Chain A
Amino acid sequence: MAAIGDDLVWMSGNEAIALAAYEAGVKVASGYPGTPSTEILENLSTYEGVYTEWAPNEKVGLEVALGASFAGVRALATMKHVGLNVAADPLFTASYTGVRGGLVIIVADDPEMHSSQNEQDSRNYAFAAKLPMLEPSDPSEVGALLKEAFALSEQLDTPVLFRTTTRVAHVKSVVKKGEKINSPVIPGIERMPAKFVMLPGNARVRRVAVGERMVKLKDLAETAAFNRVEPGVGQRGFITSGVSYLYVKEVFPEAKVLKLGMCWPLPEKKIREFASEVDELIVVEELDPFLELHIKAMGIPCHGKDLLPDQGELSPAIVRKSLDPASVAELFAPVPLPMRPPNMCAGCPHRGIFYNLSRMKVFVSGDIGCYTLGFLPPLSAMDSCVCMGASVGIAHGMAKALGAEAKGKIVSVIGDSTFMHTGLSGLINTVYNGSSSLLIILDNRITAMTGQQDNPASGSNIKGEAANSIDLEALCRAVGVRQVDVVNPHDINSCRKVLEAALERDEASVVIARAPCVLLPEMKKAKHIPYSTRLADCTGCMACIRLGCPAISWNPLTPDEAVAKGYKEKQKGFALINEVQCNGCGQCQALCKFDAIVRQEA
């Protein structure tokens, strides 16, 4: 193999998509961060000649990309699988309008839910929206396939879905750089109302065009090089796509394989021919029996989910266990160990709010972000979390269902970026339809969970340049919230008073808890003055321990050890602050009634 150098680069699937989008001549790209898709736009924003942006949500991102396509340039929209739900509205009608410049929508699925609330299979959207969907198996396949996607989009007047999964997006392999190409489409304003104005009369005509396009796509699927038969030995034949193809090759390197680079529509003749050449046809795919169902609908018998799981990720081990159990080696048994779940960082501003909520006997309607970790012990201060922006509507719905009984007992919490994404319309509803639920906006000045991306309220754009910043207080007041308080979440005791007063009100109210994420570069660079434990004064009351801060640890003592340390015999232990980890937020000091936590002097 040639060495890494000018033409060969070591890249993740997401980096490879950014490179290929640049090489394919993409001019406009928009999206919303979401694991495992985030790094695509982050990387693309570093290339010259491509306009990139973070949109407030995936629906807007797709609409921006569609607009760029209408203007005759190649455009890209990126999102995670659940983001495609948000973008589904423009998606289904963009299928009818078709494109001018090539339009590709990247959707990154997260089987196994490494960082997601569900593991929906986006291939079903290709079927439902009548759109082609391409699917690479690893970063090395991305370049050629994404360029095909843009060409196909322009040739057949269709948006193209391009699906990855976590094990393509976040896998690294050697990638070959390609030629920079340009779209043959000429940019400009073209008025094409019959194609772009989807009133019923026009849409009915376009619906026919969509049907004709699907026939052409099926023909293309029969001959395209990305749907290829790999000859092999044995009576079994495998049909597979995406990363599952690599698992099949790993476990059955000699087998006959039909590898589908396009998972919708399917090449029926090719599949029929392949099936006729093997005694046993096995479909290997992650999540839903998507290929299997459509192959069975062709009247072709095959195995699939009768042998393989329809939940979670596949892996070579699962493929082996399901299809060749005799070759499974005996494994060392796992050892029971304390779990190590993720945790909010030392000095995280969210912790202060969740500490207060954990003491307030309220139902906490939560949302999507780092702060969902407020669910975990010892805070255990989240009672529901469904999807981006849902916290506000759910709290309002509960308040309406329970009436007077709910007063002062229901709180929704949402991050700044998630509020900008889809929380605002929920707040408008709460004001318009009048409930007294309290909304806390956790404004840490960034989209933190996905790795610190800017958003409409953060004051910077995707390149880190100064941008217009949405004023959250003014926005909440503008939609009719009369009482908007801003608090410092690190100041636990003052915060508690504001929250309790807000819960007493008979109308919608908003508390904005504002303090920057500790992972922001400026916060990492800032000199923090850490706190430390004055051990002689620690009584082992565990008040600070209940914050669950990773910089504070509990050190148990036997009665003899307690006495030896000069504590009362019954003291069960002491708390210790790791000064290297401490970010100096001071939340723990506010909770210590014995002055055993002190700020070190600068």
Chain B
Amino acid sequence: MGAQGNILFSGVGGQGILLASEIMAYALLAAGYDVKKSEVHGMAQRGGSVTAQLRYGDKVYSPLIEPGRADIQMAFEMMEAVRYLPYLHKDSTVIVNTQKILPPAVATGKTTYPEDVLDHITARGIKVVLVDAFELAREVGEVRTANVVMVGAISAFLPMASSVYEEIIAARVPVKFKDVNLKAFAAGRKVSQG
């Protein structure tokens, strides 16, 4: 082994980031890594900008990722991909759900949603993978599986086999939603594998 890595999840409260980060944590644990995850609950969850931080390796001390050291960012909203730019390094991979959620100042007409916001990341030579998670989730038949589509997309960048994730997903979702979630995972993985 010897590998280690830092995954930063970012998005908007209510998007299912915690479930996605849980699936990733269990997959990394199954691969034999030490894993730590940090979340913030409470006020920020009411539609605010939220993050979860996941670290894995032979031995993990700090639950927090240092700025400049996130290897993968899994962003559930486009502007929230850019907000955490200082956490990235030039070899980071950013997987972005191409969804726009308007923050209050935009929704009330005080300001506008920044145009071509992802250019801030690509202009620095950082690899960006675009995932239309909402549309893919709709295609598999359940829009609420967008977060599992995102898990599929990130899975292609980690060493674990699909079967590892599939087992975890099957164990964590209600039986009647198992198949649709597995389809969502496969759809997301296909995006990253091209």
Q: Which residues from chain A sit less than 8 Å from chain B, CB to CB?
A: 1, 3-4, 10, 35-36, 38-39, 114-115, 138, 166-167, 170-174, 243, 246-247, 249-250, 253, 315-317, 320, 329-335, 337-345, 370, 373, 376-378, 449-451, 542, 545-546, 548, 550, 552-554, 556, 573
Contact = CB atoms under 8 A, between A and B. Distances in A.
A334 B63 contact: no
Contacts of B159: none
B42 A450 contact: yes
Given A342-B43, A344-B46, A167 B64 contact: yes
B109 A342 contact: no
Q: Which of A4, A36, A335, A573 has the most CB of B within 10 A?
A: A335
A565 to B, nearest CB: 16
17 contacts: A4-B29, A10-B26, A10-B29, A138-B63, A167-B38, A174-B29, A247-B62, A250-B61, A333-B86, A334-B86, A337-B83, A340-B48, A342-B13, A342-B46, A343-B47, A449-B46, A548-B104
Interface in B36-66: 36-49, 60-64, 66
B161 interface: no
Nearest to A110: B42
Nearest to B88: A332
B46 A345 contact: yes
Given A334-B86, A338-B113, A553-B107, A35 B43 contact: yes
A449 B41 CA distance: 10
Contacts of A338: 79, 103, 105-106, 111, 113-114
B190 interface: no
Given A316-B62, A335-B120, A345-B47, A554 B40 contact: no
A167 B104 contact: no
Given A36-B42, A332-B85, A171 B36 contact: yes
Contacts, number: 178
A38 to B, nearest CB: 8
* In the complex, the 3 A-B pairs of residues with the closest C-beta atoms, listed nearest first: A115-B42, A35-B42, A342-B48
Contacts of A250: 61-62
A332 B124 contact: yes
A550 B108 CA distance: 9
Contact of B41 (A170, A317, A545, A548): A170
A329 B68 contact: yes
B32 interface: yes
Given A317-B67, A339-B103, A340-B103, A115 B43 contact: yes
Given A172-B25, A550-B107, A167 B44 contact: no
Contact of B66 (A1, A39, A315, A552): A315
B107 A36 contact: no
A341 B48 contact: yes
Contacts of B46: 342-345, 370, 373, 449
Contacts of B32: 1, 3
Given A250-B62, A331-B68, A333-B86, A377 B124 contact: no
Contacts of B34: 1, 174
A377 B108 contact: yes
Interface in B53-110: 60-64, 66-68, 79-80, 82-83, 85-86, 88-89, 102-110
A553 B102 contact: yes
Contact of A4 (B26, B64, B67, B85): B26
Given A170-B39, A342-B13, A342-B48, A550 B104 contact: yes
Contact of A246 (B29, B62, B80, B106): B62
Given A115-B43, A317-B67, A171 B38 contact: yes
Contacts of A3: 29-30, 32
A464 B148 CA distance: 30
B33 interface: yes
A545 B110 CA distance: 11
B52 to A, nearest CB: 10
A216 B37 CA distance: 38
Nearest to A546: B108
Given A377-B105, A377-B110, 15 more contacts: A38-B41, A167-B64, A170-B41, A171-B37, A171-B38, A171-B39, A249-B61, A315-B66, A317-B67, A340-B48, A340-B83, A341-B103, A341-B104, A378-B108, A554-B106
B193 interface: no
B48 A317 contact: no
Contacts of B66: 315-317, 320
Contacts of B111: 338
B88 to A, nearest CB: 6
B162 interface: no
